[in-house]
Amino acid sequence: MLKSKLTAKYQCIYKVRDKNTGLFSTGSHHPRWKKSGKVWHRIGDLKNHLNQFKHMPDNWEVCEFPISIPLAYPATNYFTPPQVRPDGSIMGYRYTPPSV
């Protein structure tokens, strides 16, 4: 099984959601709200972002999304080698052996 550097380092990601609209913050001091929004990989960075506001609206919530490590297999497990015909040509290719 392979692990990416991101999933090995971080166990979850964080987003700020508006409970009324279900949209996520784009970050910054004057956030806009979108379907995807900004992702914070570390809780400390998210806390720093939220602490820049003098007033925290009651309808904001922090969403924590766990990162699952996907199963990974060698690509060769899914590779079917081409079949070679008795004349030496490979099936699926238009190969004409050179005339002698």
Q: Which is it for strands 60-66 and 12-18: parallel, antiparallel or unpaired?
A: antiparallel
Say if residues 55 and 29 touch (Cβ distance below 8 Å).
Answer: no
2 pLDDT above the threshold of 50: no
Say if residues 56 and 47 touch (Cβ distance below 8 Å).
Answer: no
Note the pLDDT tens digit of each residue in 74-97.
887 777 777 787 887 777 655 566
What pTM was estimated for this model as a whole? 0.61
- Residue appearing with tokens 């030496």: 88
Domain boundaries, the chain: 5-69
| Residue 84 CB partners (closer than 8 Å, separation 6+) | 90, 91
Count other C-beta atoms under 10 Å from residue 20's C-beta: 11
Of residues 3 and 37, more confidence is placed in 37
pLDDT at residue 7, as a whole number: 47
User: Sorting pLDDT into bands at 50, 70 and 90, what band is 69?
Assistant: confident
Please state whether 95 falls in left (phi above 0), alpha (psi between -120 and 50) or beta.
beta
